[in-house]
């Protein structure tokens, strides 16, 4: 019996291809869940995320990207093999084209010659099987189901042209489902990013979280209240670069809240810089959307600055998977924000939690 409660993922792909076996979905989720973040993170290639952006994007965060990979592989396997792990070579091809290195194998109908795309694919096969010859590849892609899922997920990050059902816009791209993506998200999580503490090893910020939330929620106009902090932030921001608060004031506001709560960060004026300091220097853990709680810090920042879209804020109360009460520079009291960006805000990429 599956440990996952599938609904949308069990809907028929098309009239020709029905609903996937639960066992296939279980293997898909368990394998994708265990892979490192770099398999799903942005890269500089035109990859499967580029192809699917119009139907399943834009991608809000890493959790979204992992779920999209699950959905793509669910539908690719339908069109390629009807989810048959043991599917063999396409017998419709001319016999003159039957070469071992080009022989399709397994549920996703991948061939050995795809391994030349990137060295990480050979490493993937070596990790699972201990060798990377053509016979091992053909056999293992049928028998080792976790290998098949991981190999195809990695291959799709470098190239999609090998997959005819992805190239054909009437097939995979026309049958993926946003509802299935949302359901896959509920089964997945994001691997915490390991903090780099070699220069400044710190911890125990969690002991200050109650003070952090109390200060941010204080409606009074006295020292260490939100209004007092915003007044101080406005003065610092004006001196720093001439901006008139609240414009570009989220990072310095949160910096002062952290300082007043006993968490020793410097005055920081860029949301991406504060995000990186909390994550890499102060060892705050990465928490996926939907798992946030009071005291977590939400960030919309990616890997490079994106002026006008970068934002950082403090959660003071969780209302649900999406709705929260938060504190930032935009109002002088706690107010509602949605992790999804509902209401015209930038979607939150992930949350940070003190450890």
DSSP state at residue 278: I
- What is the structure's pLDDT at 199? 42
Asked whether the CA dihedral 56, 68, 341, 4 is positive or negative, the reply is positive
Residue 21 has pLDDT above 80, yes or no: yes
Under the banding of pLDDT at 50, 70 and 90, the label for residue 225 is confident
pLDDT in tens, 127-168: 999 999 999 999 999 999 999 999 999 999 999 999 999 999
**Which residues, other chains included, contact 10 with Cβ-Cβ below 8 Å and sequence gap of 6+?**
19, 20, 22, 25
Q: How many separate helices (H) and strands (E) can be counted in the chain?
A: 13, 6
Residue 202 has pLDDT above 90, yes or no: no
97-117 burial: b if 16+ Cβ within 10 Å, else e: eeeeeebbbbbbbbbbebbee
Looking at every residue in the chain, the average pLDDT score rounds to 90
Under the banding of pLDDT at 50, 70 and 90, the label for residue 97 is low
- What is the structure's pLDDT at 193? 46
253-283 burial: b if 16+ Cβ within 10 Å, else e: bbbbbbbbbebebeebbbbbbbbbbbbbbbb
Residue 114 has pLDDT above 60, yes or no: yes
The CATH code of domain 205-353 reads 3.90.1720
pLDDT in tens, 37-90: 889 998 888 999 999 999 999 998 899 999 999 999 999 999 999 999 999 987
C-alpha closest to that of 229 among 188, 258, 207, 203:
258
Residue 297 has pLDDT above 70, yes or no: yes
Q: How far is residue 17's CA from residue 171's CA, in Å, rounded to a whole number?
A: 11
For the chain, give every domain's residue range: 8-187, 205-353
Please give the model's pTM, rounded to 2 decimal places: 0.56
- What is the structure's pLDDT at 222? 59
Under the banding of pLDDT at 50, 70 and 90, the label for residue 204 is confident
Residue 235 has pLDDT above 50, yes or no: yes
Residue 326 has pLDDT above 50, yes or no: yes
Q: How far is residue 256's CA from residue 226's CA, in Å, rounded to a whole number?
A: 10
* Tokens representing residue 43 in the block: 């890269």
Under the banding of pLDDT at 50, 70 and 90, the label for residue 303 is confident
- What is the structure's pLDDT at 2? 83
Residue 3 has pLDDT above 90, yes or no: no
**Which residues, other chains included, contact 206 with Cβ-Cβ below 8 Å and sequence gap of 6+?**
353, 354, 355
- What is the structure's pLDDT at 271? 95
């Amino acid at each position: 019996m599956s440990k996952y409660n599938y609904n949308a993922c069990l809907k028929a792909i098309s009239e020709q291809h029905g609903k996937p076996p639960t066992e296939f979905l279980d293997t898909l989720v368990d394998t994708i869940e265990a892979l490192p973040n770099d398999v799903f993170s942005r890269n500089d290639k035109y990859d499967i995320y580029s192809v699917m952006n119009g139907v399943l994007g834009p991608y809000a965060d890493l959790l979204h990207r992992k779920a999209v990979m699950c959905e793509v592989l669910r539908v690719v396997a339908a069109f390629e093999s009807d989810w048959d792990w043991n599917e063999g070579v396409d017998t419709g091809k001319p016999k003159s084209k039957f070469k071992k290195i080009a022989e399709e194998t397994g549920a996703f109908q991948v061939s050995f010659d795809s391994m030349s795309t990137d060295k990480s694919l050979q490493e993937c096969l070596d990790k699972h099987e201990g060798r990377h010859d053509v016979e091992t590849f053909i056999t293992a892609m049928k028998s080792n189901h976790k290998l098949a899922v991981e190999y195809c997920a990695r291959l799709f990050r470098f190239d999609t042209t090998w997959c005819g059902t992805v190239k054909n816009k009437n097939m995979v791209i026309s049958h993926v489902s946003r509802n299935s993506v949302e359901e896959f998200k509920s089964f997945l999580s994001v691997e915490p990013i390991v903090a780099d503490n070699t220069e400044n090893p710190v911890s125990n910020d969690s002991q200050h979280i109650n003070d952090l939330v109390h200060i941010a929620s204080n409606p009074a106009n006295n020292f260490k209240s939100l209004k007092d902090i915003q007044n101080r932030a406005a003065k610092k921001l004006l001196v720093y670069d001439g901006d008139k608060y609240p414009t570009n004031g989220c990072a310095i506001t949160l910096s002062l809240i952290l300082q007043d709560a006993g968490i020793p960060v410097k005055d920081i004026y860029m949301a991406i810089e504060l995000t990186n300091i909390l994550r890499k220097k102060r060892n705050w853990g990465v928490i996926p959307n939907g798992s946030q709680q009071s005291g977590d810090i939400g960030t919309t920042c990616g890997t490079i600055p994106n002026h006008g879209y970068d934002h950082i804020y403090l959660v003071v109360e969780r209302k649900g998977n999406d709705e929260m009460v938060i504190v930032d520079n935009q109002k002088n009291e706690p107010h509602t924000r949605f992790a999804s960006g509902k209401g015209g805000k930038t979607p939150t990429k992930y949350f940070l939690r003190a450890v």
